[in-house]
Every structure is written in structure tokens, then in C-alpha cells.
């Protein structure tokens, strides 16, 4: 079914001028960009967004990274958009990501991995609402 997901071009990919290439991959793969904004996350915004990872040992590092520069936040839509965007991104660790995936192409390591994508319908709903309040999911 047609569904929406939430995506981020993370600070590392923005720093390396990969915004355009990543958006092109998204569009080439048939996903529609329904909302898009460039922003520099504050600490509370990043912490709230990643609240499910609060107890993880890498939480501090993750928030530090996500707040170090601007990123691009987006709502994507399409057939099975959640799974499709995750497939297109590849594995969380770029070293384990398949050839041609965003993280293989543009990610550096498990922390600096170029992009984010929602892992399910409930997370997509929360994440879209976190960055696009009032957006009709």
C-alpha cells in the first residue's frame, strides 16, 4: 500500500555535498518527496527524536553528531515506502551495506552513516510528527 516514511540526510552527508545525489537516488527509485526542510537540530530536538536509544552506550555520540551541523529532514511517500527507503539506504553499518546503497556509497561508519529512515509505521508517524508538526500522516 502507499505509505509515508521519514528520512534524514545526516550532517556528514550534508558536509560532503551529497544532498543532491541522495535526493536523486530517492526520486530515481520512485519515492515521492512530500515534505523537505533543512535544519540544524538543537540538542533537545535530537535527544527527543532518538529517545528510544537513550540507554544505548552510543547515545551521547549520536546526539553530538546529529547536532554538529545542518541536516535535511523529509517525508517520503510511495508503495511500501518504509521498507523501500530502508532497502535503498542499506545496512546501518556502511561496511555491511550492499553495493549501490546510500550508506555504501556515502556512509563512513556506523555512526556517520549518511541517512536515517523510519523502521516501521509507528516510528514513521512519531518521526514525521516530531519534525513536521501538524503534517497529515
Residues in the site for ligand CMP, rule: CB under 6 A? 53, 58, 61-62, 92, 110-111, 113, 116
Q: Phi first, then psi: give them for residue 122, nearest 5 degrees.
A: -70, -45
* CA 112 vs CA 25, 90, 109: distances in Å: 19, 13, 5
Does 10 show up as a binding residue in the annotation?
yes
CB of 41 to ligand CMP, least distance (A): 12
Catalytic-residue membership of 116: yes
The DSSP H or E segment spanning 76 is strand 71-79
CB of 22 to ligand CMP, least distance (A): 14
User: Checking DSSP bridges between strand 32-39 and strand 71-79, what pairing results, if any?
Assistant: antiparallel
For ligand CMP, the closer of residues 78 and 113 by Cβ is: 113
Q: Is the dihedral of CA 64, 66, 67, 68 positive or negative?
A: positive
3-state secondary structure of 125: helix
Does 103 show up as a binding residue in the annotation?
yes
Catalytic hit among 18, 51, 53, 116: 116
For ligand CMP, the closer of residues 21 and 110 by Cβ is: 110
Measure the CA–CA gap between 36 and 68, rounded to whole angstroms.
20
Does 92 show up as a binding residue in the annotation?
yes
Which residues are marked as active site?
116
For the annotated binding site for ATP, the residues are 10, 58, 86, 92, 103, 113
For the annotated binding site, the residues are 10, 58, 86, 92, 103, 113
Amino acid at each position: 500500500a502507499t505509505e509515508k516514511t521519514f528520512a534524514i540526510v545526516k550532517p556528514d552527508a550534508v558536509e560532503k555535498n551529497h544532498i543532491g545525489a541522495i535526493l536523486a537516488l530517492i526520486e530515481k527509485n520512485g519515492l515521492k518527496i512530500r515534505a523537505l526542510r533543512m535544519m540544524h537540530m538543537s540538542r533537545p530536538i535530537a535527544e527527543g527524536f532518538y529517545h528510544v536509544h537513550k540507554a544505548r552506550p552510543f547515545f551521547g555520540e549520536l546526539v553530538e553528531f546529529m547536532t554538529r551541523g545542518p541536516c535535511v529532514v523529509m517525508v517520503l511517500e510511495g508503495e511500501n515506502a518504509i521498507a523501500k527507503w530502508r532497502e535503498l539506504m542499506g545496512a546501518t553499518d556502511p561496511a555491511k551495506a550492499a553495493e549501490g546503497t546510500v550508506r555504501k556509497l556515502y556512509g563512513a561508519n556506523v555512526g556517520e552513516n549518511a541517512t536515517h529512515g523510519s523502521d516501521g509505521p509507528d516510528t514513521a508517524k512519531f518521526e514525521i510528527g516530531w519534525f513536521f508538526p501538524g503534517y497529515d500522516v
